[in-house]
Amino acid sequence: MFGLPLRRRTILLSGLLALIVAYCSITLITSRWLAPERFDLTQDRLYTLAPGTRQIVDNVDRPLWLTLYFSQHATKDLPTLRSYEQRVAEMLQEIVARSHGRIRLQIADPVPYSDDEASAEGNGLTPLNGGSNGERIFFGLVGTTRPPTSEAAQDTLADFPQQAREKRFDRTLAIPFFDPNRETFLEYDVAKLLYQLSEPEKPRIGVITELPVMGAPAQGAQPWSVMHQLQQLFDVEMIDTDKLKHIDKNIQVLLLIHPKNLSTDVQYALDQYVLGGGHLVVFVDPFSESDPAPLIDDTTSATNNHSSNLPRLFADWGVSFNPDQVVLDRARALQIELAGANLAHPAMLGLSASELNRDDVITASLQRVNVSTTGHFDLLPDANTRLIPLMQSSSDAEVVPTQRVIEASTNPSSLLDGYQPQGQNYVIAARLRGTFASAFPEFAKRPGHLSTSAPNAEVILVADTDLLTDRLWVETQSFLGQPLLSAFANNGDFINNMVDNLSGSSALLSIRGRSTSQRPFTRVQGLRRVADRKFLQKEKELESELADTKRRLEELQPSKGTRDTSTSAEQKQEIEQFLQRQLAISKELRDVQHQLNAEIDALGTRLKVINIVMLPALITLVGLMYGWKRTRRNRRQRSG
């Protein structure tokens, strides 16, 4: 360039400067006003928002502010948590990009004694102990409709229409902690937070029951704890069935608890509510211990007046439920105290995590749900619906007549007499999905009658009502003269999760569990499985030779009262041979391990060579070939 004439050199420098200015300007414009093209090449499209999430984000009509709290310094020695924080942040950033300015995100590091730490605690985040230098770890999300006092926030609020600003309401919600074990429901949890922030009112919940779930104020009886929790989160309405002929569509979830002898009008109202897209939860029970009606001791009949059923609707939905059967499960029997003695009650069950559906958002995070004298569900042979279990018994369960359980109330141990497990997991609670037809075709001429539901309609079924009672999951303690509830099971969480899940929009319900971002090295795992099989084979060989040697030594033992030096020498020789063989097998085990490590190292080396050397070399080669062809074409054009 320095050998060029001054005028030409000035033109080249001016052109170069113009290119630099143009490049910087285009980069600034595209990064500020144009959305960059993004491609999700992961196997399960982890970074692509589900259609339900996109619908919820698109329907946000008021500004929302999100704050992700993550303790950077306290997690410096926790790479798994730091990796998951990156996954959470990237998903939130994708949501923010989708919102086109309606949702704003900031990330805060709540260091000890800072304003951010106080804000995190004040907004309900749950810290964990075990961070660096004993620091607490915050990792949660706070969403609010309340604008910060910054000018940027006020500018964001000004971007919304006047109508959206006028109907703005103050609400703050939080995800207390992002548990990596719950990663499959990460998108659901965040989408639920956004949906709840966007809703101006509490969801409306209806309850139909003959049980005293709301207590008895005249007698000083308090509402059941599960209902008290629901009242804090939802607008709960008790529905009287005396003159009920229609269920309001504004009731987002209807809890039908212990239905007994419902009139045709009430059953038809339930039928039409489900067909119209309503969310119904049915609690039935072969023997409801909380039923206030006096128990009729009728040994001539298999039924009892403490049982409940919904036979006409169940039959139409393809569901089998027998109120004359109770599930016993000795493997999950709860310990009770009766007449001063502790004993296992096989009709009172403590369902652990292994009996709960870990792939469903309702039960994924639960650890224990207690039930008592529960029934079970099954599908009829001609059913067109699907039964997706939420809770079930262990395989060490059997079914017995309800009357037998009633008669054994003073001696529950007698239920174990002649116990015969049937090797079946009985479904205690489940989602029922499918296309439902009306159970009342004779009412087809009524105005507004619905004959079928939308595809994939859903009802949740629970074969126990006693799980709602306080005695199975919560106890009351006194603290400074005030009652304090202490939960020892997750029954309340089960009900809250269920209502919370069903009260969301159809978009929220469509978001299912996603795969985790942790991608296993399947090739390495395969190598390890092969090595494990080799180790197992060698271990069996060593154990077999050890047993043979012990048997041989016993045969060589001298008779009592005699001394035989030749036999003793033979024993020593046998022992020496075994020890040598044992050392040889141990060496072979080490060789297998070394071979495995060598194969894994070789695989890692190959991957590094491919990523570091071969791919750049291939790209460089393609570029050189393209440049060579272009140069050759230019030369031909010049010579022509």
What global pTM score does this model have? 0.67
- Cα angle, residue 564 at apex, residues 560 and 569 outer, rounded to 5°: 125
pLDDT for the residue numbered 597? 65
Question: Do the strands 319-321 and 457-462 form a parallel or antiparallel pair, or are they unpaired?
Answer: unpaired
Q: At 343, list the tokens.
A: 């004993």
Q: At 571, list the tokens.
A: 């024993």
Within the chain, which residue ranges are assigned CATH 3.40.30? 51-198
Q: Tell me the CA distances in angstroms from 549 to 535, 544, 552, 577, 582, one per residue in order.
A: 21, 9, 5, 9, 11
127: which DSSP letter? -
Pairwise CA distance, residues 29 & 52, whole Å: 31
Where does the pLDDT of residue 500 fall: very low under 50, low under 70, confident under 90, or very high at 90 and above?
confident
pLDDT for the residue numbered 475? 85
Pairwise CA distance, residues 603 & 421, whole Å: 49
Beta bridge partner(s), residue 204? 235
Beta bridge partner(s), residue 475? 486
Largest CA distance in the chain: 120
pLDDT for the residue numbered 180? 87
Q: Where are the alpha helices (DSSP H) in 339-442?
A: 402-407
222: which DSSP letter? P
Contact 213, 199 (CB under 8 A): no
Q: Where are the alpha helices (DSSP H) in 123-185?
A: 151-158, 162-166
Predicted confidence (pLDDT) per residue in 564-585, tens digit: 555 567 667 776 776 677 667 6
**Mean pLDDT across the stretch 407-426?**
92
Contact 49, 94 (CB under 8 A): yes
Contact 206, 503 (CB under 8 A): no
**Mean pLDDT across the stretch 402-431?**
94
pLDDT above 70 covers what percent of the chain? 75
**Mean pLDDT across the stretch 512-527?**
56
**Mean pLDDT across the stretch 348-352?**
96
Average model confidence (pLDDT) across the chain: 82
| Strand boundaries in 32-120, DSSP class E | 64-70, 103-108
CATH number of 204-291+302-323+373-396+424-509: 3.40.50
pLDDT for the residue numbered 463? 98
pLDDT at position 626 over 60:
yes
pLDDT for the residue numbered 30? 61
pLDDT at position 274 over 70:
yes
Q: At 104, list the tokens.
A: 């704003």
Lowest mean pLDDT segment, chosen from 220-224, 457-461, 478-482, 489-493: 478-482
Q: At a CB cut-off of 8 Å and minimum separation 6, what does 166 contact? A: none
Neighbour-count burial of 386, counting CB atoms closer than 10 A to its CB (0-12 exposed, 13-18 middle, 19+ buried): middle
pLDDT for the residue numbered 164? 47
Pairwise CA distance, residues 36 & 29, whole Å: 11
| SS3 call for 86 | helix
Within the chain, which residue ranges are assigned CATH 3.40.50? 204-291+302-323+373-396+424-509
Pairwise CA distance, residues 267 & 244, whole Å: 10
Predicted confidence (pLDDT) per residue in 301-317, tens digit: 556 889 999 999 999 99
Using H for helix, E for strand and C for coil, what is the string for 77-93?
Answer: CCHHHHHHHHHHHHHHH
pLDDT at position 161 over 70:
no
Using H for helix, E for strand and C for coil, what is the string for 556-616?
Answer: HCCCCCCCCHHHHHHHHHHHHHHHHHHHHHHHHHHHHHHHHHHHHHHHHHHHHHHHHHHHH
Top-level CATH class of 51-198?
alpha beta
Q: At 407, list the tokens.
A: 């008669």
